[in-house]
Structures are given as structure tokens and as C-alpha cells.
Amino acid sequence: MAKGAKEDRFKGHDYYNVDGLLSEDHLLARDAVRDWVKKEVSPIIEDYSNRAECPHHLFKGLAEIGAFGPSLPEQYGGGGMDEIAYGIIMQELERGDSGIRSMASVQGSLVMYPIYKFGSEEQRLKYLPKLGSGEFIGCFGLTEPDHGSNPSGMVTNIKDDGDHVILNGAKMWITNSPVADVAVVWAKDESGIIRGVIVEKGMPGFSAPEIHGKWSLRASITGELVFEDVRVPKSNILPGVQGLKGPLSCLSKARYGIAWGAIGAAMDCYDSALRYSLEREQFGKPLAGFQLTQKKLAEMITEITKAQLLAWRLGTMANEGKATPGQISMAKRNNVHMALEIAREARQIHGGMGITNEYPIMRHMMNLETVLTYEGTHDIHLLITGMDVTGINAFK
Ligand code: TGC
Ligand code: FAD
């Protein structure tokens, strides 16, 4: 074992030195975000989460640390970095809270990315700088009340009206919708083809009521999108894509970020469990001295390490443009499930204290229940892998 490993016990929990695979730029980005989370997120997050309130003021700070679209080009409001930088930034944000990582995932991967990738130059110049700087908040509307895992069945639609389209329908479970200035909405045209439409706050007939009563992702605001004969200029339709592959390719970007992000939540739970087990004594010795506690801790760090390596390899393939949707699904599913299991084990190590907000465990655990479901559920990702390895589509 390398000298100094013991002193580094609490330093990021990078057991296999994945840091050694990162460049100077990755490490600088990682440290900047880690410091920002410690200063701006950790001191307030339990309180906001407790009150089920979104810390909106963090949007500007997220923009300043380059959390919105880290791998998008700088001239379009992104960070101009690579996919691993994007991943490691998501990891550090989710070490703070999944809801804070969500803010960045939605803004960068689900709003800026489709406008950059499928938008006209005019659309890019109009929206991306404001989204990149946090002046505008964006949201992404795919899920509907009756179409979650099967977005191809969506009923939200646009009808031709000269130089406008008329948008009708509703979207459900939309992160940031009540506070969003722009929404990238997926709707079917009169031929039944899915199109991306940029809808702006204030367009008559458009509303975004908040969804209340969530026990998960409480520091993130979630709502509906309701469209009643909304007249949207045709110039707001994304010209560069048609069909479900439009929203699904945005999801590939965001799912990739979640595969990294979940590791951050797991590391924070592990960190808390390790510290607590070394401090808390029962039967005359620290909890960490019992074999059953050591089993839990050893399994946690093993699973975190495997997840880091999965994410890192996925990142190198993503940098070459070779990460497939199936590979991304495997990493999202594995890493989120891993983080949730670690949160549950960490909760046990904290005993009764584990259910309180003195420790971050329950908050992470409750958040991860959403992360397990959004961006494609745990089982949907399993079926995507199943389809990939068998060549048989179980959805049809
Ligand atoms: P299917 O026939 O398989 O595919 C339709 C077309 O899309 C292409 N495709 C992809 N393209 C890019 N990236 C991907 N990941 C892709 N997956 C598929 C595919 O090649 C095909 O292209 P083409 O050219 O042949 O037309 O579609 P399907 O209807 O059978 O659906 C497959 C299924 C079930 C896997 C898909 O619908 C799915 O992934 N469902 C899950 C829905 C989901 O993930 N929703 C997420 C909503 S957004 C969200 O949760 C944001 S959370 C925000 C936050 O972080 O706070
Ligand atoms: P359903 O699709 O009804 O699934 C219910 C259960 O059935 C799941 O366990 C699922 O795995 C299972 N199931 C479904 N189909 C199959 C099958 N073929 N085989 C086996 N099992 C199956 N969406 C957006 O568009 N934008 C957002 O910003 C956004 N943010 C969200 C934020 C939060 C807090 C939450 C909770 C959700 C968010 N979502 C968002 C929606 C999210 O993507 C959906 O909840 C998710 O895709 C699942 O859809 P559903 O909830 O309708 O569940």
C-alpha cells in the first residue's frame, strides 16, 4: 500500500487512485466544484431540503463554476472541456445533493445541448449565452401524465398555423418547470413525428404549476407544463432533428452525467459512515472495530471503486464519441443502484442518528429514489441492456 494511504483515509475516497487517470484540468475543475459545494451547498442544503425549497440563488454560482454544459463549446455558453471533466463536475455536485446536480444536468444536457445540437444558429445565439450564464433557467419536457417510460406514445401535439404552430398537451414531473424561462418541449406534429419546440415563459396559454408533496429531491423544484392553444413561432422549432432519437440523445448526455453524479452521493454517505463508525463506541470499542461494520465499509468502497472505473472508462469512450446508449444505460443503472445501496448501509451504521438531518444519509437516500427512476427507470435500463445483448426488443 502506498505510503500516506492512511492519512488520506478521508480524502475523496479514491481507493484506486482514479485521480491518477485525470489531467491537471480535470483535477482543477474537480477541486473548484468541490470547494464551491463545501462553501455554498453543504451549509444550507439540509435546511432547504427540510423545507422542500429550491435554492434558486445557486443557479448563478453553478454557471460561474462552469457546471452548465461543461463539454459544450465555449462560444455557445459551455465550458469547452471534455466528457470526463463534465462527469467529475457532476460527481462533485451530487456529493452535495442530487437536486443540485439535477439543476446542472437539466440546464446543460437537456436544454443547452438540444439547442446547440439541433437548433438553428439564430436559436443558439438567442438562448445559449443566457442559459450558460444562468440568466435564463431552462427545463425539458418529455414525460407526460400517461407516458413516462414510453415517451413514443406522447399526445402533446403541434398543429400548423401559418408562421406559427399551435401547441396543446401536458407534461409531468418536469424539473425546474415552475421557475423556467424556456422549456424544450417534445411534441408530435400532424404527421405524428416528434419535434422539439422552444416554449418561452409568458406565451399565452402556457403554465407550469408546481408539484408538491415530494419526499425525494426536495431541494429541487418540479412541476407540470400545460399547453392550451399556445401559439409558438415556427422559428422556435428545432430544425436539426425529427423523431424520438432527438430527446433520447439528450437523455444519453444526461444519463452519462448521472452515472458519475451518483458516485458523489455514494462517497458522501461512505465518508459519513466511516467517520461515524470510528467515533461511535459500543461494547467498549468503535463500531469500526466490529467485523460486521468492516464488511459494510469494505463492500461500500469496493462498489464505489468499481463504479468509478465504469464511469471513467465510459468517459474515455465518450471522449472518442464511441460510448453507446447501451453502455450509458449500464453505467447509469449500476451506479445509481450502487449509491442507493450504500446510502442504506450507511444509514444502518449511523443507527438512530442515521434517520436525522444531522447527517446527510437520509437526504441522499431519498434523493436517490428519484435518481433511480428519472432519466429511465432501473428496469428500463436493464431492458435496454437486455435488448443490446440479445438483439430482441422487449418493449415492442
Ligand atoms: P426505439 O425505437 O428504441 O428508438 C427510437 C429512436 O431513437 C434512437 N435511440 C437513441 N438515440 C440516441 N440516444 C439513445 N439513448 C437512444 N435510444 C434509442 C433509436 O436508434 C431510434 O432511432 P431511429 O433513427 O431508428 O428512429 O424507441 P422506443 O419507443 O422503443 O423506446 C425505447 C426506450 C423504452 C428505451 C425509450 O423510450 C426510453 O429510454 N424510455 C425511458 C424514458 C426516459 O428516460 N425518460 C426520461 C425523461 S427526462 C428526465 O427524466 C429528466 S430528469 C431531469 C433531472 O436530472 O432532474
Ligand atoms: P412508469 O413509466 O409508469 O413506470 C412505472 C413502473 O413500471 C417502473 O418501475 C417502470 O420500470 C415499470 N415499467 C414500465 N414499463 C415497463 C416495461 N416495459 N417492462 C417492465 N417494467 C416497466 N421527465 C421529464 O421529461 N423531464 C424532467 O425534467 C423530469 N424530471 C423529473 C423529476 C422528478 C423528481 C421525477 C420523479 C421524475 C422526473 N421526470 C422528468 C420523469 C421521469 O423521467 C419519469 O418518472 C420516468 O421516466 C418514469 O416514468 P413514470 O414515472 O411515468 O413511470
Residue 5, pLDDT above cutoff 60: no
Atom 56 of ligand 1: nearest residue by CA position: 102
Helices (H) and strands (E) in the chain, counts: 12, 9
Answer yes or no: do 210 and 259 share one domain.
Answer: no
Pocket test for ligand 2, best of 149, 172, 199, 252 (most atoms within 8 A of CB): 149
In a domain, 7, yes or no: no
In a domain, 395, yes or no: no
Amino acid found at 77: G
Q: What pLDDT, on the 0 to 100 scale, is given for residue 396? A: 85
Answer for the pair 345, 268: CB distance below 8 angstroms, yes or no. no
- Ligand in closest contact with the CA of 177: 2
Residue 122, pLDDT above cutoff 60: yes
Interval between CA 110 and ligand 2 midpoint (Å): 16
Percentage of residues in the chain with pLDDT exceeding 90?
A: 96
Answer yes or no: do 188 and 213 share one domain.
Answer: yes
Q: What pLDDT, on the 0 to 100 scale, is given for residue 290? A: 98
Give the C-alpha separation, 300 to 120, whole Å. 46
Answer yes or no: do 206 and 343 share one domain.
Answer: no
Answer for the pair 131, 76: CB distance below 8 angstroms, yes or no. no
Residue 4, pLDDT above cutoff 50: no
Cα separation of the two ends of the chain: 51
Domain termination residue (choose one: 80, 101, 132): 132
Answer for the pair 113, 253: CB distance below 8 angstroms, yes or no. yes
Answer yes or no: do 145 and 123 share one domain.
Answer: no
Q: What pLDDT, on the 0 to 100 scale, is given for residue 36? A: 98
Percentage of residues in the chain with pLDDT exceeding 70?
A: 97
- Of 345, 371, 389, 300, which is closest to residue 101 (Cα–Cα)? 371
Higher per-residue confidence, 137 vs 3: 137
Please enumerate in sequence order all residues whose Cβ is within 8 A of that of 218, keeping only pairs 6 or more positions apart, or say none: 48, 49, 50, 52, 53, 99, 363, 366
Q: What pLDDT, on the 0 to 100 scale, is given for residue 2? A: 44
Tell me the CATH number at 52. 1.10.540.10
Answer yes or no: do 19 and 89 share one domain.
Answer: yes
Interval between CA 220 and ligand 2 midpoint (Å): 17
Tell me the CATH number at 179. 2.40.110.10
Mean predicted confidence (pLDDT) in 241-265: 98
Domain termination residue (choose one: 180, 204, 236): 236
Answer yes or no: do 145 and 119 share one domain.
Answer: no
In a domain, 5, yes or no: no
Q: What pLDDT, on the 0 to 100 scale, is given for residue 7? A: 54
Answer yes or no: do 60 and 177 share one domain.
Answer: no
In a domain, 2, yes or no: no
- Number of domains observed in the structure of the chain: 3
Q: What pLDDT, on the 0 to 100 scale, is given for residue 13? A: 85
Q: What is the pLDDT of residues 10-56, one digit of tens each?
A: 766 899 999 999 999 999 999 999 999 999 999 999 999 999 999 99
Backbone angles phi, psi at 17, to 5 degrees: 50, 55
Mean predicted confidence (pLDDT) in 327-345: 98
In a domain, 6, yes or no: no
Sign of CA dihedral 196, 201, 206, 212: positive
Q: What is the pLDDT of residues 138-181, one digit of tens each?
A: 999 999 999 999 999 999 999 999 999 999 999 999 999 999 99
Q: What is the pLDDT of residues 288-334, one digit of tens each?
A: 999 999 999 999 999 999 999 999 999 999 999 999 999 999 999 99
Specify the pTM. Answer: 0.97
Instruction: Count CB atoms within 10 A of the CB of residue 212.
Output: 8
Does residue 246 line the site of ligand 1, with CB under 6 A? no
Residue 3, pLDDT above cutoff 60: no
| Per-chain mean pLDDT for the chain | 96
Answer yes or no: do 364 and 281 share one domain.
Answer: yes
Answer yes or no: do 271 and 374 share one domain.
Answer: yes
Tell me the CATH number at 308. 1.20.140.10
Q: What pLDDT, on the 0 to 100 scale, is given for residue 12? A: 67
Element (H or E) spanning 286, and its range? strand 285-286
Q: What amino acid positions are annotated as catalytic residues?
A: 375
- Of 129, 128, 132, 171, which is closest to residue 148 (Cα–Cα)? 171
Residue with cell 419536457: 141
CA angle 178, 360, 273 (to 5 degrees): 155
Q: What pLDDT, on the 0 to 100 scale, is given for residue 57? A: 95
Interval between CA 345 and ligand 2 midpoint (Å): 26
In a domain, 396, yes or no: no
Answer yes or no: do 32 and 110 share one domain.
Answer: yes
Does residue 245 line the site of ligand 1, with CB under 6 A? yes
Amino acid found at 196: G
Answer yes or no: do 184 and 121 share one domain.
Answer: no
Does residue 143 line the site of ligand 2, with CB under 6 A? yes
Domain termination residue (choose one: 236, 256, 284): 236
The least confident of 10-19, 102-111, 195-204, 294-303 is 10-19
Range of the domain at 119: 13-132
Residue 8, pLDDT above cutoff 70: no
In a domain, 91, yes or no: yes
In a domain, 8, yes or no: no
Q: Which residues of 346-359 are buried (b: 16+ CB within 10 A; e: fewer)?
A: bbebbeeebeeeeb
Answer yes or no: do 93 and 175 share one domain.
Answer: no
